[in-house]
Amino acid sequence: MPYTAILLNTFTNKGKFMERNIGKRTLVFLHIGKTAGTQIEHISNKLISYGVDIKKAGHDLKLKSIKGELPYFFSIRDPAQRFKSGFYSRKRKGQPRLYVEWSKFEAIAFNEFEHANDLAEALLQNDKKGLNARAAIKAIRHTGMQQVDWFEGVAFLDQRPPMHIIRQEYFNNNMQELINSLGVDLKVESLITTDPKSAHKNNYQGAPDLSELAIHNLSQWYMQDYYFYKQCEEWLKKKEIANQVTNQT
């Protein structure tokens, strides 16, 4: 049985099954692509021996598909940088850690646009190149979906708040906060991998930086995600203030 199917069965079957198999420190990692998920998976494997069971949901699993009352967390990333990472990850077909062949539509996209900046700069043009850019960004896995899409149909920060949110830009600090909340006395630096292959880290050698025009276009295209990122940051700030008040009483 595929792991995703097992995961769904674990979360949808309430009652005895969950009571027998789910421990007190079990939580779900909702895996949004290109947001440090491989590094989090690496850390999760090390935490098993400390009594923490982090169940990784596959890229295609959204929050509304995860039933039950299990706590969850997720990671996010600046939308423009996530786009760049997703573009080059798929351009090299996931290598060297993985190998996933292009779809026929991805092949067309990478034949048209050599670099992420090329695609982003053409994204809002009112011509054939603009049409091709908009088709390409939707065709490439990781760039076609916005991060907020993983929460479709769920008021996640109100009715179903996460246990924590990890921002890739503040990875060590946010991950340390999660580890501390799980009652594990470990430094995150002792758990992360510095091997680029194991971390599934992009190598941007030879790739141009995103230009001001490219970032502007991406801010328009991924507008929902920029609001989503800001909303997550505000939630983290409120959580930090609430924790400070609790510690002072």
Angle at 15 between CA 59 and CA 20, to 5 degrees: 80
- What token pair was written down for 80? 């423009």
In tens, the pLDDT along 89-114 reads 999 999 988 889 999 999 999 999 99
pLDDT of the residue at 198: 59
Please state the pTM of the whole predicted model.
Answer: 0.87
In whole angstroms, give the CA distance from residue 117 to residue 235.
31
In whole angstroms, give the CA distance from residue 137 to residue 172.
30
Question: Is the per-residue pLDDT at 161 higher than 60?
Answer: yes
Mean pLDDT of 45-57: 95
pLDDT of the residue at 15: 29
pLDDT of the residue at 219: 98
Which segments of 18-173 are extended strands (E)?
A: 26-30, 53-57, 72-76, 164-167
pLDDT of the residue at 152: 93
pLDDT of the residue at 98: 85
| Closest to 213 in 3D by CA, of 35, 79, 80 | 80
What CATH number was assigned to the domain covering residues 3-248? 3.40.50
**What are the boundaries of each domain within the chain?**
3-248
Higher-pLDDT residue of 187, 99: 187
